[in-house]
């Protein structure tokens, strides 16, 4: 039997617990059928944690996350907590975990699965075969830069400000993640910024270029302004392999890339820290990109695929279990090819199902594939 793998599961708010439930069944299946032994802990995060202990990211959760080999995260937030002060937002749950665990590289694949080509709002010809990996910096830039705040001026008017700041080492380390990925993919990185208007963007472009020249001459680098990238993503998405961006541009462009695929309900992500040279390990957190979707929470209709695919990324990235990751991905694709759809990806002629039926169908496909 394989060595224990310590997982921290943080279901969070909204549809998080519902879709996580389906992943727990996949984990049980893997325990049974593949003899992967997981040691699972659960923790509090987001609005639920605010209600229970008064903080969106309790110290205990951070400690558990640091002790785990990997964190599987659901989603946080909802209308119930929308009016809390800025310092108490449920979103701080994920932001603090990223920061405290040093999770600087967020990998967001936007893959158009063949059975879902028609689910995109773009023409099938434009999106068929799209396979993009957005690499987003997640512990720096305008999300954390100081000074920030809203101040009241002597005339009584308010002034709000944030700071977009990057040290060259922060740029270089996330650029290396993008170049390494491109090497295993189609060998191209598109680095986005606004070097035409932002000083930090100017440095971003310079440093990414230096890293490429010195360490990755075999990878093609293209620099693109972030606004142009948004336009190109909608018109010619197939030109992209890896897109590299800072925290803010990466946030926006990864949603856009995700939308090309037809459903946020299908997309996973991984956020990785640096490899510890002593142990060879790295902190890592895996989460679907759809968020807590409060409008459909509690109805049993959420799509569990993104959370399951996040678990597949966890198997691949944290444990090197490529075969098991691919097995789960194939099972999901087969279920879709068989015509089952949750509401978010429903198309004419397909069979509409809820969260648990979708989950069961994936388990059945896993049984068949493993037989």
Question: Which residue ranges make up the annotated binding site for NAD(+)?
Answer: 78-91, 291-303
The enclosing H or E element of 190 equals strand 188-193
How far is 368 from 371, CA to CA, in rounded Å?
5
Judged by CB under 6 A, the chain residues 235 through 264 that form the site for ligand IPM are: 251
Q: Give the shortest CB-66-to-Mg ion separation in angstroms.
A: 24
Nearer to ligand IPM, 69 or 251 (CB): 251
* Residue 255: active-site member: yes
Q: Which of 5, 64, 99, 194 is catalytic?
A: 194
**Residue tagged active-site, from 69, 164, 241, 251:** 251
- Distances in whole angstroms, Cα of residue 75 to Cα of each of 64, 174, 288, 348: 18, 24, 8, 29
How many Cβ atoms sit within 10 Å of the Cβ of residue 276? 10
Residue 285 pairs in a beta bridge with: 71, 271
Least Cβ distance, residue 92 to ligand IPM (angstroms): 8
The one of Mg ion, ligand IPM, none whose footprint includes residue 357, by CB under 5 to 8 A per kind, is: none
Distance, in Å, from the CA atom of 235 to the CA atom of 228, rounded to the nearest integer, reads 11
CB–CB of 104/250 below 8 Å? no
Q: Which residue has the tokens 């037989």?
A: 371
Dihedral (Cα; 319, 69, 254, 127), 10-degree rounding: 20
Separation of alpha carbons 271 and 317, rounded Å: 10
Residue nearest to ligand IPM (CB): 91
| Contact between residue 250 and residue 134 where contact means Cβ atoms under 8 Å apart | yes
Q: Which is nearer to Mg ion, 110 or 219 (CB)?
A: 110
Q: Does the bond joining 168 to the residue before it have cis omega, within 30 degrees of 0? A: no
Selected binder of Mg ion within 13, 137, 164, 251 (CB under 5 A)? 251
Q: Which is nearer to ligand IPM, 77 or 359 (CB)?
A: 77
Count of residues interacting with ligand IPM (CB under 6 A): 4
SS3 7: strand
The tokens of 112 are what? 């158009």
Annotated binding site for substrate: 98, 108, 136, 227
Binding range to Mg ion, per CB under 5 A, among 82-90, 94-102, 132-140, 249-257: 249-257
**Residue 252 interacting partner from ligand IPM, Mg ion, none (CB closer than 5 to 8 Å by kind):** none
User: Do 21 and 61 contact (CB within 8 A), yes or no?
Assistant: no
Nearer to ligand IPM, 95 or 363 (CB): 95
The Cα 117–Cα 124 span in angstroms is: 6
155: which 2 tokens? 């005339």
Given 31, 100, 162, 255, which residue is catalytic? 255
Judge whether 143 counts as a catalytic residue. Answer: yes
Count, residues near Mg ion per rule CB under 5 A: 1
Whether 194 sits among the annotated catalytic residues: the reply is yes
Question: Exactly one of 31, 100, 227, 238 is catalytic; which is it?
Answer: 227
The partner in contact with residue 26, picked from ligand IPM, Mg ion, none with C-beta cut-offs of 5 to 8 angstroms by kind, is none
Q: Which is nearer to Mg ion, 18 or 251 (CB)?
A: 251
Tell me the per-residue interface mask from 87 to 106 with ligand IPM, x by CB under 6 A, - otherwise.
----x--xx-----------
Contacts with ligand IPM, residue ranges (CB under 6 A): 91, 94-95, 251
The residues carrying an active-site annotation are 143, 194, 227, 251, 255
Contacts with Mg ion, residue ranges (CB under 5 A): 251
């Amino acid at each position: 039997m394989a060595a224990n793998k310590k997982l921290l599961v943080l279901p969070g708010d909204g549809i998080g617990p519902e879709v996580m439930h389906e992943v727990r069944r996949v984990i049980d299946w893997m325990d049974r059928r593949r003899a992967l032994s997981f040691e699972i802990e659960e923790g509090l995060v987001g609005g639920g944690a605010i209600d229970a202990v008064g903080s969106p990211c309790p110290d205990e959760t951070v400690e558990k996350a640091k002790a785990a080999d990997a964190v599987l995260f659901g989603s946080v937030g909802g209308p119930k907590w929308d009016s809390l002060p800025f310092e108490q937002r449920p979103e701080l749950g994920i932001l603090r975990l990223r920061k405290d665990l040093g999770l600087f590289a967020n990998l967001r694949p936007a893959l158009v699965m063949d059975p879902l080509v028609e689910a995109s709002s773009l023409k099938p010809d434009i999106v068929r075969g799209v396979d993009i990996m957005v690499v987003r910096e997640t512990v720096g830039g305008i999300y954390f830069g100081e000074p920030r705040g809203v101040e009241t001026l002597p005339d009584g008017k308010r002034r709000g400000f944030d700071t977009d700041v990057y040290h060259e080492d922060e740029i270089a380390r996330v650029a290396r993640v993008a170049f390494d990925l491109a090497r295993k993919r189609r060998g191209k990185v598109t680095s986005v910024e606004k070097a035409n208007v932002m000083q930090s963007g100017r440095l971003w472009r310079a440093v990414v270029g230096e890293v490429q020249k010195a360490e990755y001459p075999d990878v093609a680098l293209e620099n693109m302004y972030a606004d142009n990238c948004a336009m190109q993503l909608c018109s010619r998405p197939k030109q992209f392999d890896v897109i590299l961006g800072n925290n803010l541009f990466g946030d926006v462009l990864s949603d856009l890339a995700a939308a090309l695929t037809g459903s946020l309900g299908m997309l996973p992500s991984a956020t990785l820290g640096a490899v510890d040279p002593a142990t060879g390990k790295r902190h890592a957190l895996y989460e679907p990109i759809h968020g807590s979707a409060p409008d459909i929470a509690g109805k049993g209709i959420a799509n569990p695929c993104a959370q399951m695919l996040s678990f597949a990324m966890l198997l691949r990235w944290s444990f090197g279990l490529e075969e098991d990751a691919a097995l789960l991905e194939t099972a999901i694709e087969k279920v879709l090819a068989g015509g089952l759809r949750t509401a978010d990806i429903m198309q004419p002629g397909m069979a509409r199902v809820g969260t648990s039926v979708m989950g069961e169908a994936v388990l059945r496909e896993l049984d068949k594939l493993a037989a």
